Amino acid sequence: MTDVEVRDLTKTFGRVTAVDGMSFTVPAGKITGFLGPNGAGKTTTLRMALGLVRPSAGEALIGGVPYHRLARPRRSVGALLEATGFHPGRRARDHLRVLTAAGGLPGHRVDEVLGQVGLASSAGRRVREFSLGMRQRLGLAAALLGDPPVLLLDEPANGLDPAGIAWLRGLLRGLADEGRTVLVASHVLSEVAQTADHVVIVNEGRLRFAGPLRELGETSGALESAFLNLTAVSR
Amino acid sequence: MIRSEFRKLGSVRSPWLLLAAGPLIVVAGITGLIQSGGNVHDPAVQSRALAHVGLAALFTLLFGIMAVAGEYRHGTITDTFLSSPARGRVIAAKLASYGLVGAAAGLVSSVVAIGVTAAWWAAEGGSFHPGAGGTWLTLGGGLAANVAFAVIGVGVGALIRNLVAAVAAALAWIALVEGIAGQIAGPGPARWLPFYASEALGRTNLSAAGHLLPQWAGGLVLAGYAAAFAAAAVVTTLRRDVT
């Protein structure tokens, strides 16, 4: 059981405060939706949790340890950040082979995760031939490569068609049922309402709500009305 | 981590096309030297032919720039740092693997240079003496310049993370800035600049030969630049956010 804990996390870029004293816990064994309007600080928070952006204050801990102190980060955390992190001339299988070499992972994982995300038949194709949805699947394959107990996914449904979104929902549910910690940043509320057990809602860099989804109400429109209330611009 | 770097290199085509340009420049340069009336009976001309190996270092410089700035361009740097949050070690692995490839590229250029020079000398009725005119010093210096510029390239790519800007800055420096700085400051101070130092090291002698440093000093100066760029690459990469 590996929780993700964000404590008083703050990031300022020049005079802009992108994340402002954020604290919440992402529980293991559940799917947690990370919600907020564009520019609310979701991506910056994820990047701080992954050691890519240095916090101005506070910390993010993965099982009690900051990311840069993890002994084998790819075995502890799988991350999907954006669909652009590929060399267009590299084949899908080679992309993952680079990562197994860098992460000290066994080579047989490459074909396993390609099968898991439905790209086994495209393993030998160059990424420039991939659709956005296929790139998204390859990014998910990279996140799953180290069989990690924690998954931090930024807009994982981006570019997936309806069948792909249904597939993703099943994948995430299976991962959470295995006891993993699954955080899904998204601004597609209907998607999160169908998938998540727990939600974290942020706006303008600040935490607005963190807790079980059902606390926001049981009706189908409850998440949307709660979200709009919580993120209403305070002017 | 070094194995991961070599897998990155081995799985795309562009770096190899870039490196292949080095030996091609050597072939073209030596051919041009002979076609423009180079005297095959002069040992100094033999050394000038072989000195084209040092010019091929332009391509190991661009190759080194691609190592880092190319990762920022394609966004693969994110995955690289997720695998290895110790960024200093990532840059060290790049410096080591790209330095090695730079050495291999210099070696290929040297072999090509010897082959093409020997062929032209035979065709023109001269006799090619591998030991004459400081041949080995010229080739060794050229090879060292290939390594140094691969390392400097990694540094430039880490400092200027925009690939196009980094390549443009490097080419502008070589083609324009050093020449202009040389005219303003005079040949005395200019010979300490990196490209002039590499001319001394590779015994290229494109510029007024008398104003260059001795070969050994050029080598030391260039090694100093390589060390400074390597250190700057590590320091800036540790400090900057990856967004």
pLDDT one-digit tens code per residue, B217-235: 888 999 999 999 999 999 9
Beta bridge partners of A203: A206
pLDDT class for B112, splitting at 50, 70, 90? very high
Q: Is A42 on the interface with B (CB under 8 A)?
A: no
CB-based contact B80 A82, cutoff 8 Å:
no
**Mean of pLDDT values over B150-161:** 95
CB-based contact A67 B75, cutoff 8 Å:
no
The confidence score (pLDDT) of residue B45 equals 82
A61 three-state secondary structure: strand
List pLDDT tens digits, range A39-56: 899 999 999 999 999 999
Residues of A in contact with B3 (CB under 8 A): 101
pLDDT class for B205, splitting at 50, 70, 90? low
What ipTM was assigned to the predicted interfaces of this complex? 0.92
Nearest-CA distance A27 → chain B (Å): 22
**Mean of pLDDT values over B29-34:** 88
Average per-residue pLDDT for chain B: 88
pLDDT-above-90 percentage for chain B: 49
The confidence score (pLDDT) of residue A168 equals 95
The confidence score (pLDDT) of residue B134 equals 79
Nearest CA in chain A to B237: A52
Residues of B in contact with A87 (CB under 8 A): 8, 11-12, 70, 74, 76
CB-based contact B78 A97, cutoff 8 Å:
no
Q: Which of B7, B174, B158, B173 is nearest to B70 (CA)?
A: B158
Q: Is B209's pLDDT higher than 60? A: no
Q: A204 with A37: CB under 8 angstroms?
A: no
Residues of A in contact with B8 (CB under 8 A): 87, 90, 98
Where do we find the tokens 């502890």? A76
Whole-number Å distance between alpha carbons of A92 and A127: 6
pLDDT class for A233, splitting at 50, 70, 90? low
Chain A, window 145-204: residues with a beta carbon less than 8 angstroms from a chain B beta carbon: none
- Higher pLDDT, residue B122 or A29: A29
Query: Domain range spanning residue B118?
Result: 2-238
- CA A44, A48, A49, A55 torsion-angle sign: negative
Q: Is B176's pLDDT higher than 70? A: yes
The confidence score (pLDDT) of residue B178 equals 85
Q: Which of A7, A26, A24, A33 is nearest to A195 (CA)?
A: A33
Fold (topology level) of A4-230:
Rossmann fold (3.40.50)
List pLDDT tens digits, range A154-177: 999 988 999 999 999 999 999 999
Range in A25-29, A69-73, A228-232 the model is least confident about:
A228-232
Residue B125 within a domain: yes
Residues of A in contact with B14 (CB under 8 A): 89
The confidence score (pLDDT) of residue A11 equals 96
The confidence score (pLDDT) of residue A83 equals 54
Closest partner CB to B79 (pick from A53, A70, A85): A85
List pLDDT tens digits, range A168-211: 999 999 999 999 999 999 988 888 888 899 999 999 999 999 99
Closest partner CB to B78 (pick from A44, A73, A81): A81
The confidence score (pLDDT) of residue B129 equals 78
The confidence score (pLDDT) of residue A43 equals 93
CB-based contact B74 A86, cutoff 8 Å:
yes
Q: Is A32's pLDDT higher than 70? A: yes
Domain count, chain B: 1
Whole-number Å distance between alpha carbons of B128 and B240: 53
The confidence score (pLDDT) of residue B138 equals 86
Nearest CA in chain A to B76: A85
**Mean of pLDDT values over B187-208:** 79
Q: Is A235's pLDDT higher than 50? A: no
List pLDDT tens digits, range A50-77: 999 999 999 999 999 999 999 999 999 9
Q: Within 10 A of B42 (CB to CB), how many other CB atoms are there?
A: 12
Chain CA centroid to CA B34, Å: 24
List pLDDT tens digits, range A93-130: 999 999 999 999 999 999 999 999 999 999 999 999 99
Q: Which of A10, A56, A40, A12 is nearest to A200 (CA)?
A: A40
Q: Is B181's pLDDT higher than 60? A: yes
CB-based contact A73 B83, cutoff 8 Å:
yes
CB contacts < 8 A, A to B, total 83
pLDDT-above-90 percentage for chain A: 79
Residue B243 within a domain: no
Whole-number Å distance between alpha carbons of B23 and B149: 16
**For B77-95, b where at least 16 C-beta lie within 10 A, e where not — what string?**
bbbbbbbbbebeebbbbbb
